Amino acid sequence: MKRPFELTVKEALELMEKGELTAKELVTSCLNRVRDMEPEINAFITICEDSALRKASQIDEARKKGEILGRLAGIPYTVKDVYNTEGIQTTAGSKILEGYISPYNATIIEKLDGQDAILIGKTNCDAFGFGSSTENSAYGVTRNPHDTERVPGGSSGGSGAAVSYGGGLFSIGEDTGGSIRCPASFCGIVGLKPTYGRVSRFGAIAYASSYDSVGPMTKDVYDNALILSVIAGKDSKDATSSPLPVPDYTLEMENTLKGKRIGIVKEYMNQGVDTQVKQAIDQAIEKFKGLGCEIAEVSLPYTEYAIAAYYLIGISEASSNLARMDGIRFGPISEGSDWQERYMNTRGENFGAEEKRRIILGTYALSEGYADKYYHKAQQVRALLKADMVKAFENVDILLTPTMPILPFKFGENSSDPLKMWLLDAFTVTINPVGVPALSVPCGKSESGLPIGMQLIGNHFSEELLYQFARNFEKA
């Protein structure tokens, strides 16, 4: 029999409904698990033990009285520490926000709270989402529960590790160029980057505002669809959120895949894909054939420019978004003889190396005389990437790629070479400039037992279809 922290959201809800498990027992089981695992893994920046236990007792009381409860009543969860939480510290993984306490909740927190889910902690991440390994956090690295000598992926690595070891039953990550999908792949869980605008960004600390997407990280496909059904939708506080109606994403996922078409991107499979990753993807393709899918080769000719365009636009937006981190409005402030010196010292002392690298490069790319050459050029490439991808969906229902070209790597293996680290994002970063949804699903293991993930990419607002592919695959 599974211990409570090992349950999926669906299983836990069923047990609580039948009166075989209380919210208090479930939350306590997760918190104990966190206590056991954290000395080694370090997935959390903040643990909310008291408030979580209090809320669990309230929910158990309400259930006893027969009150109507929310859809996620009693389910313990975590959020990446880039979401504002009223009264609880929000650091974005950076020293420059240490001790910052937001006066309001992000919309996703309000929505989950409204369905009686229980926040048990805030997870570690690369500072401001800058990274693919969670090595760029000011709060120490997070270790991969599958092999603690290796990274959990990033930037939502704390969320990936926590879900994988049972520190909460699901997490909310943030994905600007792969930060949900990469740790989902490296930690052996399911992670969705939804269509841009599907989930409100209100209260999320911005990395690149035109890319940032809020999405669920879960143990299986059903849970992922369930959480998206709760957090998606129009929000008057985020003008980029979509007014399209939100379906119940759990309803159509068992429908047959017979006759559906999957595109394999020619340009992706050639370059630098680890042989074990390639093998797992080939096996997944065979499995989809067995489920009645047709496979077609697809070409995305501008792929080779995707990383450059993604990073140029991303760091440009980041340099602008991070201008507000000046010590005056948020977080700690350094000494200095006048305001300008205090401002410079605050930024100099509290931003890490990767944050500085991106602010300096982004400011350069936006500066007069260079903006046309870099920033605007990258925007033109972005338009081509988008046209490429939308065209691909005229012939196929989804695209299938590896999520990451390589297996989870060892600490320090790529961190001394920032460019090498950026190049690892080849398959995930093309998605955000285009704004389509992409789901990372476990599709196998390496010889040494490391998780491998595949990425399913759909057209705008095709999340339901992605879940259908993923659920059928998971079942098979």
Asked if 142 touches ligand GLN (CB under 6 A), the answer is no
Length of the chain measured in residues: 476
Distance of CA 1 to the CA centre of its chain: 30
Q: Does 83 bind ligand GLN (CB under 6 A)?
A: no
**Cis before residue 155, ω within 30 degrees of 0?**
yes
Q: Which is nearer to ligand GLN, 176 or 415 (CB)?
A: 176
To the query of whether residue 200 is one of the catalytic residues in this protein, the response is no
Which two tokens mark 349?
Answer: 């002392």
Q: Does 178 bind ligand GLN (CB under 6 A)?
A: yes
Q: Which residues contact 228 (CB under 8 A, 6 or more apart)?
A: 192, 194, 198, 199, 215, 216, 249, 463
Q: What are phi and psi of 298, to 5 degrees?
A: -125, 145
Work out how close the CB of 354 gets to ligand GLN at its nearest, in angstroms, rounded to a whole number: 8
Nearer residue to ligand GLN within complex by CB, 5 or 311: 311
11, 175, 220, 397: which one binds ligand GLN (CB under 6 A): 175
427 binds ligand GLN (CB under 6 A): no
Residue 234 is classified by DSSP as -
Q: Show contacts of 244-247: CB within 8 Å, 24+ apart.
A: 244/198, 244/461, 247/464
Q: Please pick, among 102, 133, 155, 316, the residue that the annotation labels catalytic.
A: 155
Binding mask 386-425 for ligand GLN (x = CB under 6 A): ---------------------------------------x
CA distance 34 to 252: 34
Query: Measured between alpha carbons, how far is 89 from 320 in angstroms, rounded to an integer?
Result: 23
81 binds ligand GLN (CB under 6 A): no
Structure tokens at 82: 């880039």
Q: Where are the beta strands (DSSP E) in 231-379?
A: 261-265, 294-298
Pairing of β 170-175 and β 44-47: unpaired
Q: Which is nearer to ligand GLN, 154 or 166 (CB)?
A: 154
Among 29, 85, 102, 132, indicate the residue that binds ligand GLN (CB under 6 A). 132
Q: Which residues pair with 401 in a beta bridge?
A: 455
Which of 80, 95, 193, 219 is flagged as catalytic?
A: 80
List the interface residues with ligand GLN, window 303-332 (CB under 6 A). Answer: 314
User: Beta strands 118-123 and 398-402: pairing type?
Assistant: unpaired
Cross-strand partners of 216: 172
**155 catalytically annotated:** yes
Within a 10 A sphere around the Cβ of 100, how many other Cβ atoms? Answer: 18
Alpha helices in 250-323 (DSSP H): 266-270, 275-290, 306-321
CB of 131 to ligand GLN, least distance (A): 5
Is 207 a binder of ligand GLN (CB under 6 A)?
yes
CB of 362 to ligand GLN, least distance (A): 11
Instruction: Please identify, among the stretches 172-180, 367-375, 377-385, 442-450, the one whose residues bind ligand GLN according to the rule CB under 6 A.
Output: 172-180
Backbone angles phi, psi at 240, to 5 degrees: -90, 0
Nearer to ligand GLN, 131 or 216 (CB): 131
Please identify, using beta-carbon distances, which residue of 130 and 268 lies nearer to ligand GLN.
130
Contact with ligand GLN (CB under 6 A) among 46, 124, 179, 242: 179
Q: How far is the CB of 175 from ligand GLN (least distance, A)?
A: 5
Q: Does 130 bind ligand GLN (CB under 6 A)?
A: yes
Q: Considering the complex, state which of residue 177 and residue 197 has its C-beta at the smaller distance from ligand GLN.
A: 177
> What is d(CA 227, CA 250) in angstroms, rounded to the nearest whole number?
9
How far is 456 from 474, CA to CA, in rounded Å?
Answer: 13
- Interface segment toward ligand GLN; rule CB under 6 A; list 2-10, 174-182, 275-283, 339-347: 174-182
Number of residues that bind ligand GLN (CB under 6 A): 13
Provide, rounded to whole angstroms, the least separation between the CB of residue 23 and ligand GLN. Answer: 32
Supply φ then ψ for residue 97, to 5 degrees.
-115, 15
Q: Is 299 a catalytic residue?
A: no
Comparing CB distances to ligand GLN, the nearer of 136 and 229 is: 136
| Among candidate residues 245, 258, 40, 59, the one with its CA nearest the CA of residue 150 | 40
The smaller minimum CB distance to ligand GLN, of residues 179 and 446, is found at 179
Q: Which amino acid is at 190?
A: V
Binding of ligand GLN by 176 (CB under 6 A):
yes
- Residue 166 interacts with ligand GLN (CB under 6 A): yes or no: no
Among 76, 121, 131, 167, binds ligand GLN (CB under 6 A): 131
Residue that is written with structure tokens 């040494």 in the block: 448
The structure tokens listed for 100 are 């910052």
Asked if 177 touches ligand GLN (CB under 6 A), the answer is: yes
List, by residue number, the catalytic residues: 80, 155, 179
- By CB under 6 A, name the binding residues for ligand GLN: 129-132, 155, 175-179, 207, 314, 425
